[in-house]
């Protein structure tokens, strides 16, 4: 087989693979979890929670949020990329990965949005 044919086939397969990954990521849906239902078995998995923002602490490299729902409270870590425009006592929805720090579970946030 000619090199140009192989190159065309490999580019086509690569483009189809990237497109497939984009479609799969858009269609994947994370179920809403209660904070009290998040356990060590959820480490390194993505979760979605909703709750009230109790506190915001700013450090040089990240924001540390404390969020509560009607079941429990959890720490949310947001790495500084842009300024965080959140207000205390607002209702927010967070998607992120469950991690453990100093024996306590926390969530590294991917997305945060206001909810009503």
pLDDT tens digit sequence for 67-115: 999 999 999 999 988 778 889 999 999 999 999 999 999 999 999 999 9
Residue 16 sits in the same domain as residue 69: no
Residue 6 sits in the same domain as residue 43: no
What CATH number does the domain containing 88 carry? 2.40.50.140
Residue 24 sits in the same domain as residue 53: no
% of the chain at pLDDT higher than 70? 100
Residues 6+ apart with CB under 8 A from 97: 44, 45, 46, 47, 107, 108, 110
Distances (CA, A) of 68 to 6, 17, 72, 82: 55, 39, 6, 24
Structural domain range at position 9: 1-30
Residue 49 sits in the same domain as residue 103: yes
* Mean pLDDT, residues 58-68 taken together: 94
Q: Which carries the bigger pLDDT value, residue 26 or residue 105?
A: 105
Residue 64 sits in the same domain as residue 20: no
Residue 20 sits in the same domain as residue 41: no
Give the pLDDT of residue 44: 93
Residue 25 sits in the same domain as residue 40: no
Q: What is the three-class DSSP state of 75?
A: strand
């Amino acid at each position: 087989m000619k090199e140009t044919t192989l190159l065309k086939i490999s580019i086509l397969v690569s483009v189809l693979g990237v497109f497939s990954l984009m479609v799969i990521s858009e269609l994947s849906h994370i179920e809403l979890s209660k904070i009290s239902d998040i356990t060590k078995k959820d480490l390194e998995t993505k979760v979605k929670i909703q709750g009230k923002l109790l506190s915001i602490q700013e450090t040089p490299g990240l924001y540390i949020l404390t969020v509560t729902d009607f079941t429990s409270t959890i720490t949310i870590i947001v790495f500084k990329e842009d300024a965080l425009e959140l207000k205390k006592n607002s209702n927010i929805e967070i998607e992120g990965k469950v991690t453990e720090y100093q024996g306590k579970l926390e969530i590294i946030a991917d997305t945060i949005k206001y909810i009503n």
